[in-house]
Amino acid sequence: MHEPESKKISRPILDIQGLKKYFPVTSGVFLRQTGNVHAVDDVSFSVFKGETLGIVGESGCGKTTLGRCIMGLYPLTQGRILLDGKPMSAMSRKMRKAFSTRAQMIFQDPFESLNPRQTVRQILEEKFRIHGVSQKKTITQIESLLDQVGLDPGDLTKYPHEFSGGQRQRIGIARAISMTPQIVICDEPVSALDVSVQSKILNLLLDLQCAMGLTYLFISHDLSVVRHMSDRIIVMYLGRIMEIADARNIYNHPGHPYTKALLEAVPVADPDHPSKRIPLKGEIPSAEHPPPGCRFSSRCPVAQSLCFEKAPTLSVCRHDPGHLTACHFPLSG
Amino acid sequence: MAVLNPVTKAQLRRFCSVKRGFWSLVIILILMFISFFAEVFINSRALVVYYQGAFYFPTYADMIPGKTFGLDYSYETNYRELKQKMDREGGTGFVVMPPVPYDPYENDLRLNEYPPFPPSFSHRHFLGTDNVGRDVLARLVYGFRTAILFSLGLLFLNYTVGISLGCAMGYFGGKFDLFFQRIIEIWSNIPFLYVIIIVSSIVVPSFMVLILIMAFFGWISITWVMRTMTYREKEREYILAVRSLGASHLRIIFRHIIPNTISVIVTYAPFAISGGIVALTSLDYLGFGLPAPTPSWGELLSQGWQNMEAWWISAAVVSALVVTLMTVTFIGEGIREAFDPRRHTVYE
């Protein structure tokens, strides 16, 4: 699974360029716009074919919004998304519809993401219906889908409420991988599940990736899950990318103080473990009025005056071209 | 869909378990059945006439002139008199009359007596007559038919406008939603009663015109409800999921949003129906409703009010109103109970 070196040579399947998503804040009878929530603010990165790109961050940092923007569920405020080098914005409606067979999404809450009034069969058929696949082909495809995600053909006539959380998430996965997409955006696919079920679902995702050559964009707030799944990891904070690096690198040698703080906040199951964590001061600032300069400056333990004035750009850290950090004073060693 | 959704099934079961609502539904359905086939039960035309070796079924047939039965006139046969005549003469001919042998427009006038006549079994005026000699029971039943049809028609129109507009407002949101919100706020400030009074002083409102006027003001509340429900549903993840599958707006609205808001639509209906009945009755009472000879409860009510000594008129119409509104309300209550997502456990 973990062969990031060889993957990096392949061309990017998905290119995100300067993506911005602001949600307007309105007030008054005529909904006059009084401000913006900077949910995703100038984010650029590439996703390579066959890799798993993890996106981590605290809640409210814009991970989910980013995933939904890529999926086309939210209109972009600014920026471009290129699929195989072709910009999505230039696509016609028809091409956008075709895009939905190439990129799919697994949702966070399996209790919410399935229509409670449809049977499993109806839920899985939906996509084939939308894209005009014949009835006969649909049936055989659905049967093989069920087999792939480990559900029983007898489950087809059941309704979502008759399943456990893990099984429901399997239905969600089956829906996402139908018609063999290339990219699957996993939006916290296991965070609503029991810990005992989480690993089963994660392994299912890994197996499917192997079998179908899928590319994953794996969004999660759980660092250990992301570490288990990802080849490369993006750390986000308040709508901005703080750091991009190989999974191993980012865990062993974080370049950004925020990444370091995040890693040290992971509890260790050892009472004698010497705690040398850098406690973060205060709360996350509001995304409506983000701090000028570096987004993290208000809570950064090593911030200097420059950090409050000028926002750092993503730049190569420690001479490793695959390791980018948005920090004026990246950590060494 | 041949097999009912288990959610729907459970709701049906819960509705049937609410005894009051279930029996109210049975009663209302029986009443509706009787009123829709009222010609068979309450009619001045005979059910069956056997005359000179031939059967006649005048109930739903064309008018049969009196000459057919050997009477000396060519206008419609008076079957009550025909029956009396045949009974007097004996012989093979016979006439079977409905249980109430009067139609709602007919004035049953007698020599040396002035209506209203009190209830009498011998004259088959089970609830008496009104002050021009029309049978009260006949007018009640035919009036019920008018009122129910009126309410159903009104409900249909209100729902068509309300559901489509409310869904569109909630789904598309933005400027479209904002525009119609303000329109509705202005619209709901138009005084409804004055408009009806003005319109009915210009033209005598027919059944259809009256429904249209009422629907003109009635679509607002269901629109609000649908707008709110759609707003709530469309942000849920399963809608996002079908959107990311590439589903069209129409598909999302009709296959996903409306089926998931159906509980509101259904729960609202009985209350809308009783509202329609009350509205029609009060308009008729005030004299701005349907034109004069149409059997209607409002008109009966105002007669009862003017002739307090003829207690049977007001007693009949008031009890009919109470029974109907109560059963419809009980049905609504039962449905609301059945659709309530918060089920309470009761320890006994």
Cβ-based contacts of A30 with chain B (< 8 Å): 178
* A95 near B CB under 8 A: no
Nearest to B246 among A116, A131, A175 (CB): A131
Q: Cβ neighbours of residue B336 under 8 Å, at least 6 residues apart? A: B267
pLDDT at position B164 is 93
How would CATH label the architecture of A4-237? 3-Layer(aba) Sandwich (3.40)
- Closest residue, chain B, to A104 (C-alpha): B244
Average pLDDT, chain A: 85
C-alpha distances (whole Å) from A125 to each of A130, A175, B24 are 9, 9, 41
Count of A-B CB contacts under 8 Å: 63
Chain B closest-CA separation from residue A130 CA (Å): 6
Q: Cβ neighbours of residue B98 under 8 Å, at least 6 residues apart? A: B40, B41, B42, B43, B45, B46, B47, B59
- Closest residue, chain A, to B243 (C-alpha): A73
Chain centroid, CA A5 distance in Å: 21
* Helical packing angle, B297-306 and B311-339, nearest 10°: 140
pTM beyond 0.95 = no
Q: Is the pLDDT reported for residue B83 higher than 80?
A: yes
Residue B246 DSSP SS3 = coil
- Cβ atoms B305, B286 nearer than 8 A: no
Q: Is the pLDDT reported for residue B346 higher than 60?
A: no
ipTM over 0.90: no
Q: Cβ neighbours of residue A296 under 8 Å, at least 6 residues apart? A: A237, A238, A242, A256, A257, A258, A303, A307
High-pLDDT (> 70) share of chain B, %: 97
- Dihedrals phi, psi of B99, to nearest 5 degrees: -55, -40
List residues in chain B touching A: CB distance below 8 A: 5-7, 178, 236-238, 240-248, 251, 256, 259-260
- Cβ atoms A42, A72 nearer than 8 A: no
C-alpha distances (whole Å) from B140 to each of B43, B63, B137, B296, B310 are 13, 24, 5, 7, 16
pLDDT at position A98 is 76
Q: Cβ neighbours of residue B78 under 8 Å, at least 6 residues apart? A: B44, B66
**Which candidate in B1, B172, B237 is best for mutational testing of the A interface (most A CBs within 10 A)?**
B237
- Closest residue, chain B, to A181 (C-alpha): B245
pLDDT at position A91 is 66
* A222 near B CB under 8 A: no
The full set of domain ranges for chain A reads 4-237
Cβ-based contacts of B6 with chain A (< 8 Å): 159
pLDDT at position B2 is 46
CB contact under 8 A, A126 and B246: no
- Across B213-238, b (16+ Cβ under 10 Å) vs e yields bbbbbbbbbbbbbbbebbeebbebbb
Nearest to B6 among A115, A127, A159 (CB): A159
Beta strands, E only, chain B: 48-51, 54-56, 94-96
The mean per-residue pLDDT over the stretch B237-261 comes to 89
Interface of A with B in 263-292 (CB under 8 A): none
Chain B closest-CA separation from residue A163 CA (Å): 14
* Domains recognised in chain B with CATH numbers: 6-37+138-339 (1.10.3720.10), 45-97 (no CATH)
Least confident of A27-31, A261-265, B278-282: A27-31
